[in-house]
Amino acid sequence: MSGVLGGFGRPSERTDAPTIRAMLAGLARRGTESEVRNDFGGSALLAACRQFWELDDGFSGSLFVLEDGAIAVAADATLYYQQDLLRQLRQAAVPVRGSTASHLILAAYRAWGERCAERLEGDFAFILWDGDEQRVVCARDFGGKRPLFYAQIGNSLAIASTIPALLGHPRSPRDLDLVSIGADAAGLFAAPTETAYSGISQLPAGCTLVAESGRPRVAPHWTPPAVREGRGLDFEEAAGELRRLLQAAVAERLDPHGATSVWLSGGWDSTAVFGAGQQMLRERGSDRHLQAISISFPPGDVGREDELILAVANHWGSAVHWLDIAQIPLLDHPLDSAAARDQPFAHAFENVNRALADGSRAAGARVALDGVGGDQLFQVSNVYLSDLFRTGSWLTLAQEWRLKGMSGSGFRSFFRSAMQPLLPDVLLRGAGTLRGGRPLRGQLQRPLPEWIDRDFVRRTGLIERERLHTPKRVGPDRAAYETEWYLSHPYFPRAFACVHGFALEHGVEVRSPLYDGRIVRFAAGRPRSERSQGTETKRLLRRAMRGLLPEQVLARRAFRTGSSEGYFARSMRQTFAPYLGQLIDGAMCLAQMGIVNPSILRKRWDEYVRRGGGEVGVSLFLTLQAELWLRSRAPNTKPAGAGAPVGRYKIGAAAATASPPGQAARNSHEVQEESWMAKAGNT
């Protein structure tokens, strides 16, 4: 995978060779081939690394650091719609002196200055140095697959693709931010810039950082389009336009030289990508085919979509490379995995995504297309019922209620669906007085887990912090806000970056055609009824795929398919329950830091093992992963000193290798039977 690194400051603070080597070591997971350029008058350093396969022109390319006059660029980027960008550059009378993404980014900067990222379409993170202006510009695309972090080190600014690269600097701040760690443990992810280190910040997705003198300033170069129904194409015309847009988006994301895979489920998103891509290749007279990579679930499992996947593959005469979910453990050397993470947050399905990437490689592909974007853009929850209630659309509300089979469900169900989303926060919180301290939840709010220490919550303002950073609703429409929230909440770029990172470690680049900026703008202007009406969802996307996918796949479904809930619950409550239970019973770092109440955590864990509960299970997973992250660093973790402010601990750069009791073993064949080993210290 690609990684970039930049250091900027006074010539007297020029980074020495040992420090450069240490910082590059922090990028090692992102590439084995690297180049360093620090001949910018002592004021700047730029470096980049690549995996060998990324040197091809279909990826980041063989150019590591581009210099053109006084301007230099280090980029981790795959740009799409390059012909359109070249046309704009010609209109701006700016020449492009090469074909790599770095050449295009540098030319865009010459044309539009620090606002150049507004004109780029693709997956990118870059660092640019303008020696004439003594200016640093760096940016990330709105999808956020490629991260950037930065830190003020004395009078210098350091920027890198990973936190370990910044920690490689001997004067890098190492204080832990316990508020941020507590938020991760609680599943509260709205803060866009904070990391687990108080002196290291993350550049949010869709934002540009500019530093000329003094501290950097950060501003968005992309904001989600307003979600409102516009006048224009009717339903059939819109379906045709969506098909055209999706075919173009897939075409832009194909590997130009090798095979391209699709992580194919039986839902309507990845199948749309597959069908649109196959049709595009057919229309172009190409003999290429997309390679389907799919996971098989056993009969009766809520995740099983094998028959739907086969129907899609057979429709196009394609083979499927199958992966068996029974061979994919939820956890795999969890302490080692935690030690390798930049931050406490862990993606629940890391190993599933790693297995899919291995499947892509087995099929000969370096590019994998996924269905990300379909849920965000083409469906909406039942929250739109509250919009019908708010606007007095009683007849339509009654019809929708009946079509959804909710007649006779009682007032409580009606209140929860049609009225509760409209209540202001003050009433939601006030209801807690009448509910024994349990406030009503507002739209898209996560409950605070009971085991997060209430004194810690009060002292740190954890809930207020989450409320401050949560994307604000503009206008009264709750359905529109849901879509805008999915496009702007910081959780999603964090998750996307994780998946991208997993895949790249296995030699695959993940690309998301449905999350294309042009499709986002198109979808934002379509009526709510195309996203959900009665018992039907994703109506427009399904209509756009008519003829490209079998009717049995496009048909309305009586119940949800393709859910990973069963796999997750079995793994947590059965396969790994002994290991996780012993983790809770140990001397928890989170308890020692005052973040969790261990007795309540133990009680809720026991209840979850007995009874289940999807939301509680996810919250437990996030808390325990934060604990593992701290334990992997525990021997080097100590208080920052007497009188240190709440939320600051110091941490060493090295990770611990000791394992908690009941170290989970690598699962290869007998997942249910050989999922863990009660051997302390055995990895």
| pLDDT tens digits, 408-423 | 889 999 999 999 999 9
Q: How confident is the model at residue 558 (pLDDT cuts 50, 70, 90)?
A: confident
Q: Is the pLDDT of residue 215 over 90?
A: no
Asked if pLDDT for residue 664 goes beyond 60, the answer is no
pLDDT band at 635 (very low <50, low <70, confident <90, very high): low
The highest-confidence range among 170-174, 365-369, 430-434, by mean pLDDT, is: 365-369
Q: How far apart are CA 246 and CA 269, in angstroms?
A: 11
- In this prediction, residue 659 has a pLDDT band, given cuts at 50, 70 and 90, of very low
State pTM to two decimals: 0.91
Instruction: Output 646 or 53, whichever has higher pLDDT.
Output: 53
Token representation of residue 666: 């690598």
Position 1 confidence tier, pLDDT thresholds 50, 70, 90: low
User: What integer pLDDT is reported at residue 11 of this predicted model?
Assistant: 66
pLDDT of 217 higher than 50: yes
Distance from C-alpha of 574 to C-alpha of 676, rounded to nearest angstrom: 11
pLDDT at 69 over 50: yes
- pLDDT for 645 equals 33
59-68, 334-343, 623-632: lowest mean pLDDT where? 59-68
User: pLDDT digits over 110-136, tens only?
Assistant: 999 999 999 999 999 999 999 999 999
- The two tokens of residue 302 are 């809520």
Average pLDDT over residues 437-448: 86
Residue 665 is encoded by which pair of tokens?
């073993």
- 618 versus 16: which is more confidently predicted? 618
What domains, with CATH codes, occur in the chain? 3-220 (3.60.20.10)
The separation between CA 638 and the C-alpha centre of its own chain, rounded to angstroms, equals 31
- Can you tell me which residue has the tokens 């046309």? 87
Q: Pick the range with the lowest mean pLDDT from 40-49, 134-143, 238-247, 591-600.
A: 40-49
Residue 437's pLDDT is what? 66
Distance CA 163, CA 138 (A): 16
Please name the helix (run of DSSP H) or strand (run of DSSP E) that holds residue 498, with its range, or none: helix 491-505
Confirm if 247 and 277 have CB atoms less than 8 A apart.
yes
Answer whether residue 571 shows pLDDT above 50.
yes
pLDDT at 676 over 80: no
pLDDT at 665: 36
Hey, CA dihedral for 223, 226, 231, 235, is it positive or negative? Answer: positive
Residue 521: predicted pLDDT: 97
Express each pLDDT in 163-193 by its tens digit: 999 999 999 989 999 999 999 999 999 999 9
What is the pLDDT at residue 668? 28
Per-residue pLDDT reduced to its tens digit, 513-546: 999 999 999 999 999 999 999 999 999 999 999 9
CB 513, CB 253: distance < 8 Å: yes
pLDDT at 253: 98
Taking the CA of residue 342 as centre, how many other CA atoms within 13 Å lie in the half-sphere pointing to its CB?
A: 28
Whether the predicted pLDDT of 671 surpasses 70: no
CA proximity to 209, closest of 162, 144, 140, 119: 140
Handedness of CA 589, 590, 592, 596 (dihedral sign): negative
Query: How much is the pLDDT for 644?
Result: 31
